Structure 1
């Protein structure tokens, strides 16, 4: 494997023209492709939820901080109902992550070949394509992690801890989006405690950076305190495994494929050189950071993609020795084989993670990409509900996706006890008839209503195996208690 190329000890950021120009072309191509397919299918259930939250902006919500709903509000205000505009921030952030991966390769000594290899592997990453297609807390979190990891590598290389002030600012903004940045902090602190340099943890700039992060996120922390830390209940629910991509077995299964199979060989190479080669010792804390994060994720029962950004950062590191390997021995054969493998993985990941196939063929990718199914059929779902809704009735949705869809596409008032939607209002006391959608067990509804009868089923207009298609629709009358008493019993995480 190639040795690390010595870098000048400098505390300045590299000028943009010091990064190979083709990196910018690759990053731009990723953004263009994502924008080209941004309007396919429809909103994701989470995006519909963010739009609901956008109408009730606050410093916090039951299951998230306020940044993503605020971005949803901004994009929907600029171009109401336009999915391409709505998802433009995600496409731009995906391109940024490609650049950051190449910057990490450059930071640890990578020349042109390593930078381009890192950029290509990032651009063809299934995890990056998936998050770049949707507006979600994960999309922003991915870019936040990558930025922090790049700046951390810079601190490890130069020893200039003043950069930690910028890390603190980025982390604070990231915490206003998703608390998962805390897991990265735990991993980096653990890695530095194990591999050094431990003096960083006592440095005044590091402490100042931590203080800055806390200061930025303070309004949201105050909201959590005032509302009894509901995020802890959400985290407990995720840890139970009752959520998409959650569970220890899923976390283990996702590791080789969350970036791509080719990238896995590269980030594993990074781990090998970081642990075994003395010249890579300054960056060894990164390898330990991933181990700490992965262990915490598995033990705590987190979602299997939580560590994807640090795997991509390790791919940037691994691109340096792999680029050296590609320049020795049977060069042509090695490069042809790598090119074939990258193209094969790129095509597969694009088909799986980007809505290239028609919606009628989405069942082919849903077993791998669950989220694809959750972007199909929301207007038809609302039409199914409104066909059986009598005058004066309201809709009671079982989850925030259904509530967001009815709010976006329907004309009937909608309420739900799910997550923060429960805080956005309850039915008026005068309402005695509701159309309940998504509740599988009528016995549950009979606890709250004197009459419950089947009124129909959801038809999303496409033969797709998602969570909503064929869900029962119930006509519920005669609430057993006033809504003020009933509503707390219908709340759920």
Structure 2
């Protein structure tokens, strides 16, 4: 029997979806993202996704398989260029805007509120960044929003069948990024505190859990068979960056959506807590501080909580519109300033030479620059190896961005496929033991401590991106060694690293 009792105080019907007006917001968003998607170049993570997509599996040591598969799909259809890869990110960003408009509608907003929520979502710095680049966070953002929407429908209607949709979305989320479990935990605790608890007293909840487990089963089996490497990577992130993440957590909550929109999402929390018309959705309001506490304990990155902030911004659309009606001139000025800042921080609108200030807020801007130049630098060292020795030589990088770049651009320089001990590149090695010739080492490698790994190492050059841009690979060392000190199969465990 289906539990269809409408929860207390929750209306059974919703305003009409403002299809045309929201569609205009989406059309403008897609046009802007598409026009800018080819500027700069691939991001280091995108290069890694391309490499992983060429090696399809049920999992990788640092991520489930969906994002690499999306990278492979998008480039197979639209071309292996930054623009071709980012078509899928643009489409996900557009879907995010629609879902946020639906969240605003679910909370009682009419046309104006839905358009406000859609525009605020499309223009927020976080959404701009992850809709411009393809990242695991890109799809994760959309899945969190969908889970929030489905949860609101469950709470408003009391129809337990929405647990199936929630379970399916969580299962897909597990196939993309396991952070979705933190959202489930936060929403679950909030629901126990605020109610309506009757939505938990249904067998549809168990059915939803079953759906999620079925969807995620291949990923869980792969991780178990490989000793749960995702947990190893997550614990390393917490150990290495936990203190910094905790220190920056609160300031970055102000920045990631937009400082201009902070009063809006705060108003959304207050509205959900106090307004009788939407108090049935208080669990959404409480889930945000609960999630923040969890992230602070775990040392998680500040942006992990931002998808919830976007939903709370939608909840604040109605009080924001009332304020805007009384203060139009101020609101217009704030909107112009907010859009300008978010565009500069989140999108490739500046010349590369002017990126420095923007990188202080979003370092990912600089990580889209200089990869072809890095490959050229490595090629210069490779060309110093005698032709007779090149068939036995190896290029070894210290991180997956360097390896992904060389793999992507090696055809331009006649280079062999690179190797790396970083993340899943380690699983795609080691080099064959008969490759006993020179080794080109790329990255911050301490030559004083590599004697047990490689013989006769000398630094040859440093990478220069030619744009005077201080990104992560500017000044990267490139060294040349006479050969490996041991067979590759023996030294590979010492080369492997996760951080």
> Is 2:10–2:278's contact at 8 Å kept on the other side of the alignment?
no
- What SS is found at the alignment partner of 1:396? strand
2:8 equivalent to 1:9? no
2 CA distance for matches of 1:72 and 1:272?
Answer: 40
Q: Map of 1:333-344 to 2, 5 A cutoff?
A: 334-344=327-337
Offset at residue 262 of structure 1 (A): 2.0
Counterpart for residue 488 of structure 1: 493
1 CA distance for matches of 2:444 and 2:214?
Answer: 42
> Is 1:201–1:207's contact at 8 Å kept on the other side of the alignment?
no
Offset at residue 440 of structure 1 (A): 4.0
Deviations 1:376-425 (A, max 9, x none): 01011000001111241221000000000010101222100000000012
Counterpart for residue 463 of structure 2: 458
Further displaced range: 96-105 or 44-53 = 96-105
Counterpart for residue 374 of structure 1: 367
Instruction: Give structure 1 stretches of 5+ with no counterpart.
Output: 1-5
Deviations 1:187-214 (A, max 9, x none): 1101101111222223211221121011
- What SS is found at the alignment partner of 1:473? strand
- What SS is found at the alignment partner of 2:456? strand
Counterpart for residue 256 of structure 1: 254
User: TM-score, normalized by length of structure 1?
Assistant: 0.93
2:293 equivalent to 1:300? no
> Is 2:144–2:308's contact at 8 Å kept on the other side of the alignment?
yes
Deviations 1:449-487 (A, max 9, x none): 121101111122211111111111111223222111100
Query: For the structure 1 residues 246 and 178, does the alpha-carbon distance in structure 2 shift closer, same or farther, using more than 3 Å as the test?
Result: farther
Counterpart for residue 3 of structure 1: none
Counterpart for residue 56 of structure 1: 55
Task: Figure out how many residues of one structure are paired with residues of the other and give that number.
Answer: 478
Q: Map of 1:277-292 to 2, 5 A cutoff?
A: 277-292=275-290
Offset at residue 246 of structure 1 (A): 6.0
> Is 1:68–1:136's contact at 8 Å kept on the other side of the alignment?
yes
Counterpart for residue 5 of structure 2: none
Deviations 1:240-268 (A, max 9, x none): 2449x961112222101111112211111
> Is 2:241–2:299's contact at 8 Å kept on the other side of the alignment?
no
Offset at residue 322 of structure 1 (A): 2.2
1 CA distance for matches of 2:241 and 2:268?
Answer: 33
1 CA distance for matches of 2:28 and 2:228?
Answer: 41
Q: Map of 1:321-470 to 2, 5 A cutoff?
A: 321-327=319-325, 331=326, 334-389=327-382, 390=385, 391=387, 392=390, 393-410=393-410, 411-432=415-436, 433-470=438-475
Instruction: Give structure 2 stretches of 5+ with no counterpart.
Output: 1-8
Q: Map of 1:76-155 to 2, 5 A cutoff?
A: 76-155=75-154
2 CA distance for matches of 1:50 and 1:307?
Answer: 23
Offset at residue 7 of structure 1 (A): 7.1
Counterpart for residue 215 of structure 2: 216
> Is 1:379–1:405's contact at 8 Å kept on the other side of the alignment?
yes
> Is 1:142–1:309's contact at 8 Å kept on the other side of the alignment?
yes
Counterpart for residue 311 of structure 1: 309
- What SS is found at the alignment partner of 1:455? strand
Further displaced range: 418-427 or 81-90 = 81-90
Counterpart for residue 206 of structure 1: 205
User: TM-score, normalized by length of structure 2?
Assistant: 0.92
> Is 1:403–1:415's contact at 8 Å kept on the other side of the alignment?
yes
Further displaced range: 453-462 or 370-379 = 453-462
> Is 1:63–1:234's contact at 8 Å kept on the other side of the alignment?
yes
Match of 1:266 among 245, 261, 264: 264
- What SS is found at the alignment partner of 2:134? coil
Offset at residue 181 of structure 1 (A): 0.9
Offset at residue 274 of structure 1 (A): 2.5
2 CA distance for matches of 1:247 and 1:428?
Answer: 40
> Is 2:458–2:480's contact at 8 Å kept on the other side of the alignment?
yes
Offset at residue 123 of structure 1 (A): 1.7
Further displaced range: 25-34 or 212-221 = 25-34
- What SS is found at the alignment partner of 1:435? strand
- What SS is found at the alignment partner of 1:365? helix
Offset at residue 239 of structure 1 (A): 0.8
2 CA distance for matches of 1:219 and 1:18?
Answer: 37
Offset at residue 233 of structure 1 (A): 0.9
> Is 2:17–2:110's contact at 8 Å kept on the other side of the alignment?
no
Offset at residue 489 of structure 1 (A): 0.8
2 CA distance for matches of 1:157 and 1:396?
Answer: 56
Further displaced range: 100-109 or 306-315 = 100-109
Offset at residue 24 of structure 1 (A): 1.3
> Is 1:114–1:319's contact at 8 Å kept on the other side of the alignment?
yes
RMSD: 1.8
